[in-house]
Structure 1
Amino acid sequence: MKKFLVLGVLFILPIVAYLFFASGIHNFAKLPVLEEDIPELQLSENVQLEDKITVLGFLGTNIEREGGDLFNLNQKIFKSFAEFKDFQFLYLVPKDINLDELDRVKHELSLGVNLSNWHFVLTSQENINTVFKSLKTPYELTEDGGSPYIFIIDKKRNLRGRDDDEDYGVLYGYDSSDVAELSNKMKDDVKIILAEYRLALKKNNADR
């Protein structure tokens, strides 16, 4: 009798635990939609939000100040998820930026990681302002036309974030200058949205 009890615990308990956690992920691990139907970007380059999970950022002209933020993102977020083909980083950059400085930063970011899914797109400050306002967040652009905040946009062009954050209540964007926020909040949220799409893909394949 003891033998059957031990065997039952060894075989049944892992299955029950798996079903419990799988059910929890399926039902609860979805990143809230904070704003729907973000307008598609009007850019000269062939880079779009539709059908991509996008980390959207706004790079001002002060590369010296913001360069550290980019390296934080590279180390804490991008490197961990760079292999996902539907995942991209997209930074809108003012046309009057120092291109030599931008190229230097891009080169340093590329050391040890493939930047093919990280786009820096030059555009007018007017267009940058329009895109930023379309997110409908409480944040403002800095004097150099950029922002330390970065945003998660899903494949349907919805802004994702937290609606019950313990520090902010509603968390629209993530402060790229705050390493702890990137590590403890944003990284988890990117994992959640990638898992959400993987589960949806598996379900669609199973239904077929």
Structure 2
Amino acid sequence: MKKFLVLGVLFLLPIVAYLFFASGIHNFAKLPILEENIPELQFAENVQFENKITVLGFLGTTIEREGGDLFNLNQKIFKSFAAFNDFQFVYLIPETIDLAELERVKHELGLLVDLSNWHFILTPQENINTVFKSLKTPYELAADGGSPYIFIVDKKRKLRGRDDDEDYGVLYGYDSSDIAELSNKMKDDVKIILAEYRLALKKNNADR
């Protein structure tokens, strides 16, 4: 009797485990879509939102904001996910920026991380305004044309964030000067969206 019981457990356990994980794929929490049809970067050469998971920022002419935004992002977000080739940082920057200062900051940042998936795009302020307004958030650009808030745009050009955040209700963007917000919220949300795409890829491969 014990032999049959052991054999039954050994037979049923893999089936139960498979059903558990299979259902987990379908019930996996997804990062909410807050806005769709973010316009493509028509003014940027070789940098697009489509088919990339993008952290989008608006640097403004004040390159190093209080709190050292770029370096915070590198330490708390980018370094953890740098291995993903379809994960990129895109910063839109007014053409009036001090280019020497920008190059200095990029050089310092490049000493800490490979900048091949960081894109700093110089463009007229009108283009920056258009992209920022398309996000349809309650935030506004600062006087220097930038913002401390950064945003997650998925591979289909949809803005992702939280619709039930305990502090804000709807969380459209993440304050890059707030290390706690980057560590406790944004990092988790990037993990979710990357896992979402990995699971979708596995499912597609399994279906084939």
Q: TM-score, normalised by structure 2?
A: 0.90
1:60 maps to 2:45: no
2:79 partner amino acid: K
1:188 maps to 2:192: no
Give the Å deviation of 1:26: 3.7
1:51 maps to 2:51: yes
Alignment correspondent of 2:146: 146
Percentage of matched positions with identical amino acids: 87
Q: Deviations over 1:112-170 (max 9, x none)?
A: 32110010000011110111001000000011110000000000000000011111110
Q: CA 1:166 to 1:21, structure 2 compared with 1: closer, same or farther past 3 Å?
A: farther
1:122 maps to 2:119: no
Q: CA 1:176 to 1:7, structure 2 compared with 1: closer, same or farther past 3 Å?
A: farther
Q: Deviations over 1:27-53 (max 9, x none)?
A: 132001000111111224221111111
1:70 maps to 2:70: yes
Q: CA 1:140 to 1:195, structure 2 compared with 1: closer, same or farther past 3 Å?
A: same
Partner SS, residue 201 of structure 1: helix
- Conserved 8 A contact 1:174-1:181: yes
The RMSD of aligned alpha carbons is: 2.3
Q: CA 1:183 to 1:7, structure 2 compared with 1: closer, same or farther past 3 Å?
A: farther
Q: CA 1:5 to 1:115, structure 2 compared with 1: closer, same or farther past 3 Å?
A: farther
In structure 2, C-alpha distance between the alignment counterparts of 1:202 and 1:133, rounded to whole Å: 35
Q: CA 1:8 to 1:126, structure 2 compared with 1: closer, same or farther past 3 Å?
A: same
In structure 2, C-alpha distance between the alignment counterparts of 1:5 and 1:112, rounded to whole Å: 57
In structure 2, C-alpha distance between the alignment counterparts of 1:60 and 1:161, rounded to whole Å: 23
- Conserved 8 A contact 1:66-1:148: no
Partner SS, residue 68 of structure 2: helix
- Conserved 8 A contact 1:59-1:66: no
Alignment correspondent of 2:104: 104
Q: CA 1:168 to 1:105, structure 2 compared with 1: closer, same or farther past 3 Å?
A: same
Q: CA 1:113 to 1:5, structure 2 compared with 1: closer, same or farther past 3 Å?
A: farther
Alignment correspondent of 1:80: 80
Give the Å deviation of 1:14: 9.2
Give the Å deviation of 1:104: 1.1
Task: Provide structure 2 residue ranges, at least 5 long, that are not aligned to the other structure.
Answer: none
Q: TM-score, normalised by structure 1?
A: 0.90
- Conserved 8 A contact 1:152-1:160: yes
Q: CA 1:3 to 1:70, structure 2 compared with 1: closer, same or farther past 3 Å?
A: farther
Q: Deviations over 1:85-122 (max 9, x none)?
A: 11100000110101111111111111232110010000
Partner SS, residue 186 of structure 1: helix
Partner SS, residue 65 of structure 1: coil
1:160 maps to 2:167: no
Q: CA 1:13 to 1:206, structure 2 compared with 1: closer, same or farther past 3 Å?
A: closer
Partner SS, residue 41 of structure 2: coil
Give the Å deviation of 1:24: 3.7
Aligned positions, number: 208
